[in-house]
Amino acid sequence: MTTPTTRYAGPAVVPAASAVAPDPTASSAGPRSVVRDLHPGWFASVMGTAIVAVATYDNPGNLSALVGVAHGLGAVLAILAYAMGAVLVVAYAVRWVRHTDAARADLRHPVMGAMHATVPGGLLVLAVMTSVVGPELFSAGAVVVVVATLAILGAALGLLISVAFAYGLFTGEHPAAAVNGGWFVPPVVTIIIPMALTPLMPHVGAGTARLLLALGYATYGMGFVLFLLTMGLLHDRLVLHPVPPAALAPTVWIALGPVGVGTLAPLALARAGQSVFGAAGPAVMLLSQLVGTALWGFGLWWLAIAVTLLVRYVRAGGLPFHLGWWAFTFPLGAFTVATVTLARAWQTPALEGVAALLYLALVGFWSVVAVRTAAATRTGRIWQRLPQPRPRRPGPRSLGIRRID
């Protein structure tokens, strides 16, 4: 039976929900109002900036003359990501303590709820970034401590939010139009966990290393199956119903995140587990490379779909800017890093060239989104919340909106 589709009127942008009445004058509101209405997806900016730091440090194109520049720029971007993360951790903590009802209302929302997973996602990506770029900034011992701390906090919070958001979906009633690419965020966060655990394995005992390896494969399976289930839902939603409003166009790109990290995680686990696998180690590594390459191939297809739909949205009237534009960054960044990794695993210059092109696109997206976010933050428009639009016919509650321009 097909679920009735609820169409939403008005120039919808990033969906938003709040336990408090939206305030059209939020741009001039004080700090209390800003914290109360803080968008759950702000940490996507940390994820996006951190993955750009990793991609930059990896030197896509593998030009030896650019190694020093790539490492230097990667370190600068890493510092920026750390600073953004520190500020947002405090802001979110204050919101959950002082405005618990508003935070819980967002968590129950079919779009905003998934965005809460960007917080643990940001912590985990910072952990991965630290394992790659950290040696440029910290001592070896400090790198291990930072990675371990971020990995533990990110994994625990990520699993908690994943279950809480799924529970809300299972026990609520949502129209088919509510299905969106934002639902990929909790699965991709779970898939990132192995990437944060494997750098710790050389620094622990054999027994603990085996435990971390087992946990890595377990969380990879958990996240990847959730990704497949969500992909099925989104595929059916796109085929059987009208395309989402322009505001949700960036969420289509989020699928590249699970694909990119899903390609990287098996390779990282296989490398870290060589001493555990023994004689089977090379076979596990080869199998992981083959599986990763197959998944990467699907990513190419989805990238073509995402680009084609984006062009369609632009030609139909453009995309209103909002915080959700950060969805263009981390997913593409994860896919870019996966391409670099596979290019060097296969020792194929052609793939290295593809990685370089993807990196240029990534930097372009990140630069545009960062500049527009800074401008909207300076004017205060990024904090503005507007009343929810009314559905054109009776049905489940509509998606809220936040207008930036």
Q: What is the largest CA-CA distance in the chain?
A: 66
Given phi > 0 = left and psi -120 to 50 = alpha, else beta, which region is 59? Answer: left
246 DSSP assignment:
G
Res 11 pLDDT > 70: no
Confidence of residue 394 (pLDDT cuts 50, 70, 90): very low
Q: Give buried/exposed letters for 288-316 (b at 16+ CB in 10 A, else e).
A: bbeebbebbeebeebbeebeebbeebeee
Q: pLDDT (tens digit, 9 = 90+) per residue, 109-137?
A: 887 888 999 999 999 999 999 999 999 99
Distance CA 400, CA 83 (A): 30
Res 12 pLDDT > 80: no
Average of pLDDT values for 370-375? 95
Q: pLDDT: is 22 or 269 the higher one?
A: 269
Contact indicator for 70, 134 with CB cutoff of 8 Å? no
Measured from the Cβ of residue 112, the count of other Cβ atoms closer than 10 Å reads 24
Torsion sign over Cα 51, 113, 250, 180? positive
pLDDT at 5: 39
Instruction: Tell me what the pLDDT averaged over the chain comes to.
Output: 87
pLDDT at residue 395 greater than cutoff 60:
no
SS3 109: coil
Instruction: Give the model's pLDDT for residue 30.
Output: 61
* Cβ-contact 215, 288 below 8 angstroms: no
What is the rounded CA–CA span in Å between residue 377 and residue 91?
Answer: 15
pLDDT of residue 10: 34
* Full set of structural domains in the chain with CATH: 26-383 (1.50.10.150)
pLDDT, tens digit (0-9, with 9 covering 90-100), for 175-205:
888 899 999 999 999 999 999 999 999 999 9
Which of 5-9, 33-37, 287-291, 378-382 shows the lowest per-residue confidence on average (mean pLDDT)? 5-9
Whether the pLDDT of residue 386 is over 60: the answer is: no
Tens of pLDDT, residues 154-180: 999 999 999 999 998 999 888 888 899
Is residue 33 pLDDT above 80, yes or no?
Answer: no
| pLDDT for position 32 | 66
CA 389 to chain centre: 27
Query: Averaged over 394-402, what is the pLDDT?
Result: 41
What percentage of the chain has pLDDT greater than the value 90? 72
> Hey, what long-range contacts does 213-222 have (CB within 8 A, 24 or more apart)?
213/269, 213/272, 213/273, 213/276, 216/265, 216/268, 216/269, 216/272, 217/269, 219/155, 219/159, 219/190, 219/191, 219/193, 219/194, 220/190, 220/191, 220/193, 220/194, 220/262, 220/265, 220/266, 220/269, 222/190
CA–CA gap between residue 90 and residue 99 (Å, rounded): 14
Residue 61 has pLDDT above 70, yes or no: yes
Q: How confident is the model at residue 364 (pLDDT cuts 50, 70, 90)?
A: very high
Q: What is the pLDDT of residue 102?
A: 86
Per-residue pLDDT for 20 more than 60?
no
pLDDT in tens, 66-77: 999 999 999 999
Q: How many CA atoms lie within 13 A of 393 on its CB side?
A: 5
**What's the predicted TM-score (pTM) here?**
0.86
What's the pLDDT score for residue 382? 82
Instruction: Provide the pLDDT for residue 385.
Output: 56
298-333: per-residue pLDDT in tens? 999 999 999 999 999 999 988 889 899 999 999 999
**Residue pair 121/185 in contact by the 8 Å Cβ criterion:** yes
User: Residue 8 pLDDT > 90, yes or no?
Assistant: no
